């Protein structure tokens, strides 16, 4: 039977003296959290804490280090129930590795560099190495949009959904002409919604016409 385990992840902007006792405290709470009175101690499950440190990590110079309980002379492992991981984001940012990762370590470093990236260009470059990072990068880009840009983005996404829905229905029924007409209606509706949003936010009519693709008369009629 596969061994059960519990994980806890924690992010710290900068290293401090209280970090080690705090991560031990969180590990201890997690270790006994589900333990019930009267149960045998063998029911306790493996617990892993993962600490991401952005700046000033003091324990070593490794990107990823793992601590456990060892005998002091021969370094014999006492138990595998305790694992405390540290991921050094500052050290990962200094690593220079190929942009097409092959090894597991390379993927980890790219992931840490992505987390610690300060600008969009760097994030985009790192996102190209992984489908998951690419998906996360797209989510970050959407969250970074201004209110107007987000409205425009949502309008475009709605238009794509309308076109996809119409396409599926018409494909099943074989009405190609009906699809073309439905696509045109969906496109115009998205333009009108975009223009309405920009009007409520006080944009000049000229700017609205350029972005929404409508004539001044169509905008005035809204």
Q: Do 15 and 57 contact (CB within 8 A), yes or no?
A: yes
Candidate from 41-45, 79-83, 108-112, 161-165 with smallest mean pLDDT: 161-165
Which whole number is the average pLDDT over 204-220? 78
Q: Are 212 and 195 contacting, i.e. CB atoms less than 8 angstroms apart?
A: yes
Neighbours of 135 (CB within 10 A): 11
> By C-alpha distance, which of 187, 197, 198, 192 is closest to 215?
192
pLDDT of residue 138: 77
Element (H, E) at 137: helix 131-143
Query: CB burial class (10 A; 0-12, 13-18, 19+) of residue 140?
Result: middle
pLDDT at 183 over 60: no
Q: pLDDT tens-digit profile of 34-64?
A: 788 888 988 888 888 888 888 888 899 998 9
pTM of this structure: 0.54
What is the mean pLDDT of the segment spanning 1-23?
72
Domain boundaries, the chain: 1-94, 97-144, 147-220
- Whether the predicted pLDDT of 67 surpasses 90: yes
Distance set, CA 11 to CA 32, 49, 196 (Å):
22, 11, 42
Higher confidence at residue 106 or residue 198? 106
Beta bridge partners of 5: 46
Share of the chain above pLDDT 90, in %: 9
Q: Summarize pLDDT for 88-129 with one digit per residue, the tens.
A: 888 888 877 555 555 667 777 877 887 777 778 877 887 777
């Amino acid at each position: 039977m596969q061994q059960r385990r519990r994980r806890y992840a924690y992010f710290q902007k900068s290293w401090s003296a209280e970090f080690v006792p705090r991560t031990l405290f969180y590990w201890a709470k997690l270790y006994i959290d589900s333990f019930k009175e009267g149960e045998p101690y063998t029911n306790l499950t493996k617990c892993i804490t993962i600490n991401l440190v952005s700046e000033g990590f003091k324990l070593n110079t490794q990107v990823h280090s793992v601590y456990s309980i060892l005998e002091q002379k021969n370094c014999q492992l006492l138990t595998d129930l305790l694992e405390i991981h540290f991921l050094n984001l500052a050290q990962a940012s200094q690593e220079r590795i190929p942009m097409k990762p092959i090894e597991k370590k390379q993927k980890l470093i790219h992931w840490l560099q992505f987390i610690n990236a300060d600008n969009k260009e760097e994030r985009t470059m790192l996102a190209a190495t992984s489908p998951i990072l690419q998906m996360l990068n797209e989510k970050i880009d959407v969250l970074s949009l201004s209110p107007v840009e987000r409205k425009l983005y949502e309008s475009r996404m709605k238009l794509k959904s309308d076109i996809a829905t119409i396409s599926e229905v018409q494909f099943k029924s074989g009405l190609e002409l009906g699809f073309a007409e439905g696509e045109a209606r969906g496109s115009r509706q998205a333009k009108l919604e975009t223009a309405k949003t920009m009007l409520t936010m006080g944009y000049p009519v000229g700017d609205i016409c350029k972005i929404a693709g409508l004539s001044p008369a169509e905008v005035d009629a809204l």
